[in-house]
């Protein structure tokens, strides 16, 4: 089972939930931090990193002498990463999304593959559990290509093993968030019960509904705000998986870099129950989709 | 004859200079000696999710202008303009297109050698 922990709004508690679920998970599990722009799951899980590898994107390099300024590449590239301006071939490497289209269409062989570093991928262990994370290079704007590299290492790690996967996804509802959750079996939307939390929950619900992946909601800081999230969840038939109370001991634990599920027996039990309900949800949805 | 391009919020010399380069409404393409001019819409670049600056540079290059008068030019647009030998006078704001041309005629504008705006777009 692959579970993505996501949210429309940032700062709702994705990492708190991810770290705690990994901590109490009863089966073999890989913890994945796909919030590559600002990964922080490692701050809580404190993995032993045993391997860090650079991740690259293939981009074009030009041989100006071979280029006839035919514009085949310029007409293809939607991002202006390669264009011809007044007889000048202009490359903007940081704009390139790495589709390889220009290399394919150049009739003169004037373009050759080069690369841009996206960031790096780190792998390690947390006790018996595996850990993997991506970290975007400072200055790099595109996180989905790096996330694809992280996922390819994840595939290698999971190959042939019966292992669950818990993904700490980036916030929001744009390309990075969709890239992180799109191939999961279940999406957990972490929100807070405020008008702001509810608004961004609705955005996430609408964006991720297109994927056809079952979703469930965790209400963090339960007790503050209003009932708008509950009203929305009832209206959309979105199961509320758990409510994490608004407690000083949770904030205190988080601020000290602790796994919330590790701070007290009742919080540990709360996350264990959450994990159990996730498995039930998955089983129930599985039967429906297999029927 | 020299031709200059001024980022403009509208099609006349009395319109405000648009301080944005990539996302400018359009360009007044003018001959500062005769004050003859025409307007080129920048709608294509304005509508782009990204790379508006590069598209705008392409549009300006297509007009034959050798100098751009504007407010803020990002690094990619600046690079594109430099690559084709177009000079940039930046930091202009709160003036009309006519006033910008007057300042150019008086030699009262500094040509930039670096962009003045580091974009955060993606």
Taking the complete model, does pTM exceed 0.80, yes or no?
yes
In terms of DSSP bridges, do strands A111-126 and A129-136 run parallel, antiparallel, or are they unpaired?
antiparallel
Q: What is the 3-state secondary structure (H, E, C) of chain A?
A: CEEEEECCCCCCCHHHHHHHHHHHCCCCEEEEECCCCCCCHHHHHCCEEEEEEEEEEEEEEECCCCCCCCCHHHHHCCCCCEEEECCEEEECHHHCCCCCHHHHHCCCCCEEEEEEEEEEEEEEEECCEEEEEEEECCCCCCCHHHHHHHHHHHHHHHCCCCCEEEEECCCCCCHHHHHHHCCCCEEEEEECCCHHHHHHHHHHHHHHHCCCCCEEEEEEEECECCCHHHHHHHHHCCCEEEEEECCHHHHHHHHCCCCHHHCCHHHHHHHHHHHHHHHHHHHHHHHHHHC
A108 within 8 A of A67, measured Cβ to Cβ: yes
What percentage of chain A has pLDDT greater than the value 90? 95
The SS3 assignment for B87 reads strand
* B60 close contact with A: CB closer than 8 A: no
Mean pLDDT of chain B: 91
Q: pLDDT, tens digit, for every residue of A34-45?
A: 999 999 999 999
Q: Is B50 on the interface with A (CB under 8 A)?
A: yes
C-alpha distances (whole Å) from A109 to each of A73, A76, A114 are 11, 16, 14
Q: Which two tokens stand for residue A159?
A: 């190959």
Between A281 and A106, the more confident residue is A106
So what's the pLDDT on residue B114? Answer: 82
Interface test with A, best of B80, B85, B115 (most A CBs within 10 A): B80
Which band of pLDDT confidence, cut at 50, 70 and 90, is reported for residue A290? Answer: very low
Partner-chain residue, chosen from B51, B57, B61, that has the shortest CB–CB distance to A95: B51
Q: Under a CB-based contact definition with an 8 Å cutoff, are residues A86 and B81 in contact?
A: no
What pLDDT score does B118 carry?
Answer: 63
Asked if the model's pLDDT at residue A77 lies above 60, the reply is yes
What is the per-residue pLDDT across A175-194, written as a single tens digit (0 to 9) for each?
Answer: 999 999 999 999 999 999 99
Q: SS3 sequence, B4-60?
A: EEEEECCCCCCCEECCECCCCCEEEEEECCCCEEEEEECHHHHCCCCCHHHHHHHHH
Contacts of A85 in chain B (CB under 8 A): 57-58, 61, 80, 83-84
pLDDT at B120 over 70: no
Tell me the mean pLDDT in the region B25-53: 92
Pick the residue from chain B with its C-alpha nearest to A89. B83
B31 interfaces chain A, CB cutoff of 8 Å: no
User: Pick from B48, B50, B54: which is nearest to A83 by CB?
Assistant: B54
Q: What is the pLDDT of residue B112?
A: 86
**pLDDT of the residue at B119:** 54
Its ipTM equals: 0.81
Round to whole Å and give the CA distance between B58 and B80. Answer: 8
Contacts of B122 in chain A (CB under 8 A): 141-142
Contact A88 B83 (CB under 8 A): yes
> Which chain A positions have a beta carbon within 8 Å of B76's beta carbon?
92, 94-95
Q: Is pLDDT of B122 > 50?
A: no
Per-residue pLDDT at B121: 45
Binning pLDDT at 50, 70 and 90, where does residue A291 land? very low
Instruction: Give residue A214's pLDDT band: very low, low, confident or very high (50, 70, 90).
Output: very high
**φ, ψ dihedrals at B4, nearest 5°:** -120, 155
pLDDT of residue A188: 97
Predicted confidence (pLDDT) per residue in A240-267, tens digit: 999 999 999 999 999 999 999 999 999 9
Mean of the per-residue pLDDT values for chain A?
Answer: 94
Would an 8 Å CB–CB cutoff place A71 in contact with chain B?
no
Q: Is B96 strand, coil or helix?
A: strand
- The model's pLDDT over A230-240, given as tens digits with 9 standing for 90+, comes to 999 999 999 99
Asked if A102 is an interface residue toward chain B (Cβ–Cβ < 8 A), one would say no
Q: Do B76 and A142 touch (CB under 8 A)?
A: no
């Amino acid at each position: 089972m692959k579970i993505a922990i996501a949210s429309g709004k940032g700062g709702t508690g994705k990492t708190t939930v991810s770290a705690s679920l990994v901590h109490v998970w009863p089966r073999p599990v890989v913890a994945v931090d796909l919030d590559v722009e600002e990964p922080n799951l490692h701050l809580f899980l404190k993995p032993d990193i045993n391997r860090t590898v650079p991740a690259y994107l293939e981009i074009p390099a030009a041989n100006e002498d071979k280029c006839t300024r035919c514009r085949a590449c310029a007409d293809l590239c939607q991002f202006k990463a390669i264009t011809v301006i007044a007889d000048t071939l202009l490359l903007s490497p940081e704009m390139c999304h790495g589709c390889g289209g220009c290399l394919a269409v150049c009739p003169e062989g004037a373009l050759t593959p080069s690369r841009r570093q996206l960031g790096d991928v780190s792998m390690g262990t947390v006790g018996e559990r595996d850990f993997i994370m991506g970290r975007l290079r400072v200055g790099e704007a595109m996180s989905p290509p790096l996330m694809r590299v992280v996922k390819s290492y994840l595939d290698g790690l999971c190959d042939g093993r019966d292992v669950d996967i818990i993904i700490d996804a980036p916030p929001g509802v744009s390309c990075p968030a969709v890239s992180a959750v799109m191939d999961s079996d279940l999406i957990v939307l972490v929100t807070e019960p405020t008008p702001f939390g509810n608004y961004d929950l609705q955005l996430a619900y609408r964006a991720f509904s297109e994927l056809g992946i079952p979703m469930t909601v965790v209400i963090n800081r339960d007790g503050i705000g209003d009932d708008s999230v509950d009203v929305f969840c009832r209206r959309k038939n979105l199961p509320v998986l758990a409510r994490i109370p608004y407690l000083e001991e949770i904030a205190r634990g988080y601020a000290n870099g602790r796994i919330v599920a590790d701070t007290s027996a009742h919080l540990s039990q709360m996350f264990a129950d959450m994990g159990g309900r996730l498995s039930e949800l998955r089983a129930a949805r599985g039967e429906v989709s297999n029927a | 004859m020299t031709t200059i391009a001024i980022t403009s919020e509208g099609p006349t010399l009395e319109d405000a200079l648009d301080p944005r380069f990539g996302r400018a409404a359009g360009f007044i393409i003018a001959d500062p000696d005769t004050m003859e001019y025409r307007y080129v819409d920048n709608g294509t670049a304005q509508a782009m999710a990204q790379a508006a600056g590069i598209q705008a540079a392409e549009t300006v290059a297509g007009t034959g202008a050798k100098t751009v008068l504007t407010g803020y030019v990002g690094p990619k647009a600046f690079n594109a303009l430099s690559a084709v030998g177009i000079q940039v006078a930046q930091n202009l704001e709160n003036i009309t297109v006519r006033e910008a041309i007057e300042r150019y005629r008086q030699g009262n504008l500094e040509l930039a050698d670096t962009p003045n705006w580091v974009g955060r777009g993606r």
